[in-house]
Amino acid sequence: MGAGLSTHVLDTARGRPAQGVPVTLFEIQNGERRPVTQALTNSDGRTDAPLIGRGQLRPGTFELTFEVAAYFEGLPGAPDVPFLDLVTLRFTVADPSSHYHVPLLISPWSYSTYRGS
């Protein structure tokens, strides 16, 4: 995959992709959040299309917000009152010619992320 921005959500508590997680991408400019796109993760835990397509990525600061409480609601083993609600990741794109992949690994009680490939 060429330059662009993608994400992937994995449910580490269940050992499977997290399907149906609402994801919103914002661009941060002059301290203000501007919505770029919204998506829902598919059966593979990915969005059907890149969040920013090939050749459209530019340098700047972005936020990805994942609605994890909505995903865990009603699943076996999830707490009655969610510990995590929204997980927001703020990151900077320095090299728009590179692909930025931002995975999120979640459980009802924790999350982690990294810059993937």
Question: Locate tokens 């992709």: which residue?
Answer: 17
Asked whether residue 8 is marked as a ligand-binding residue, the answer is: yes
pLDDT tens-place string over residues 27-52: 999 999 999 999 999 999 999 999 99
Q: What percent of the chain lies above the pLDDT cut of 70?
A: 98
pLDDT tens by residue, 76-87: 888 889 999 999
Write the CB contacts of 19 (distance below 8 Å, at least 6 apart in sequence). 41, 42, 43, 44, 45
* Strands lying side by side in the sheet with 111-113: 16-17, 4-11, 99-106, 111-113
Domain ranges, ordered by start, for the chain: 4-113
| pTM score | 0.94
Superfamily of domain 4-113: Transthyretin/hydroxyisourate hydrolase domain (2.60.40.180)
Spatial separation of the C-alpha atoms in residues 5 and 96, rounded to whole Å? 9
Is residue 111 annotated as involved in ligand binding?
no
Q: 71 a known binding residue?
A: no
